Every structure is written in structure tokens, then in C-alpha cells.
Amino acid sequence: MSIPHVLNRKNRILLKELTKTDFKLRYQGSVLGYLWALLRPLMMFAILYVVFAKLLKIGGDIPHYPVYLLCGTTMWSFFTECTSQGIQAIVNRGDLLRKISFPKYIVVVSATLTAVINMLINVVVIIIFALINGVSPSPTWLLAIPAILELYLLSLGIAFLLGSINVKYRDITSIWDVLIQALFYAVPIIYPITMVASTSEIAAKIILLNPIAQAIQDIRFGLITSTTITSWNYITSPLVIIPIILTLGFLILGATVFRRKSKFFAEEV
């Protein structure tokens, strides 16, 4: 996938049209339509907030914890939607792949960009909630941009890698659904990383080496509160770059495997 090939006009137009189609089909036939892009993460946030913040009294030491939790659930929803839709993209677009010759990566990217659109809508909601909750606008909000980009690139790399394998072995989708459930509890979404750090600093540092946790904590640091523990203000060794290395590693590995297997997609879907 050379840069000129990726960026040529025909590919951009096709990517744009597939993304628009994916976004429209996602909510076609539902009564609330596009409102589900907002309601899903908000409903998840509401349940977790009542259970963990109100009943279990978790997060009391975190400034603006409701927004902190909303930010985490939104970014987690973005990651799960991005990977799940990306992994299934080639199989879902099998008819198109058999009829038309075009770069196969466009199908995966268009599926993940639908998740990006949903996430951007929800970021607006996070900012509104943050302002209502007393968070002051700050230049640090810009720090969330590279962290969101990092989370997207990680998701894209996983989608390329597992999506190319899923074409032949359809069990990958079910396996990933199980892994997602396990990962949810391995990432500090509902619990603050300070809770882990108070028990074991080593465990907290290991969690922060997970690129998903690192990206979400960085986004919280930029948008919500500078008291957020992140890998770069908690880990003082060269290990701090491991999340970046893992993200780039998944992206490169995923793109490489996808390119090699893409020539057989039309035969296998």
C-alpha cells in the first residue's frame, strides 16, 4: 500500500461513499436512528455510574469523576466498535469484493471510520458534560487529539490483522468478543488506576503499558483533569514507550498480513 496509491482520488471517493453507506445502514430501520450513536455510550455510562460510583463509592478521589467515567466508556465503546466492525468488514462486503476490483483495505477503513464518526459525536457530548461539571477549557484539550489518533491506529491494526484471518476462520469474531469482555476489566474504565496503584505500583505500571489504557488515560488527562495518572507521568523508565511500540507494531503487522492475504479474499468470502 504505497502512499500515492492510498491517496489517489478514486480511492478517496470510494472510501467516502462506503463510509457514508456504512453509517446509514448501521441505523437503518431503527426508530431512534442516529440517536443510538449517542444513546449507547450514555446508557452504558449511566449503568456503570449508578453501580460503581453511587453504590460501591468508587472514584471519590477523582476530580469530575462522572465526566471521567463518561470519557472512559466512550473511548472504550469507540475501540470495541472500531475493532469489531473492522474485523467483520471483509466478510460483510463479500458480494462487493467479488464483483468489483478495488483496494481491499478501503472496506476495513470505511468500517472503522463509521466508528470514528460516532466517537466524534460523543466527544462533543463529553465536552458539554465537562463544562457543566465545572471543567475549565484548557489548551491541554489538544493533547487528547494524538491520544485518540493512537487509539484509532491501534484499532485499525487489530482490524487489519484479525479481519484478514476472519475471512477464512470465522471463529475469530467470537473469540474477539470474549477477549473484549476480558480486556474491559484489564483497562481502568470503571475503576481509577489510583485504586490499583495504592495496592501495587507494579500492577498499575503494567496496566499502563497496555496501549488501550495508556491512550484512554492520556485522553482523560487532556480533557478532564491533570491529576490523571498516565504512563508518562507515572513510569520513569524507557518502558514508557512500550504502548507506542505496540500500537505501531500492531499497525505494521496488521497491514502486512492484510496485504498478503487480500489477494485471496474474493475466493474465500
The pTM for the full model equals: 0.89
What pLDDT score does 3 carry?
45
**What is the mean pLDDT, run by run of 10 residues, along the chain of 269 residues?**
58 83 67 63 81 77 88 93 93 81 88 90 89 90 95 97 92 93 90 90 94 96 90 88 96 95 80
Contact status, residue 74 vs residue 146, Cβ threshold 8 Å: no
Domain encompassing residue 110: 3-268
In the chain, the number of structural domains is 1
Give CA separation, 170 vs 166, 167, 176, in Å: 5, 6, 11
86: its cell numbers: 473492522
pLDDT at 14: 83
Tell me what pLDDT residue 28 has: 62
Residue 231: what residue type? S
One-character DSSP codes across 49-102:
IIIIIIIS-TTTTSTTHHHHHHHHHHHHHHHHHHHHHHHHHHHHTHHHHHH---
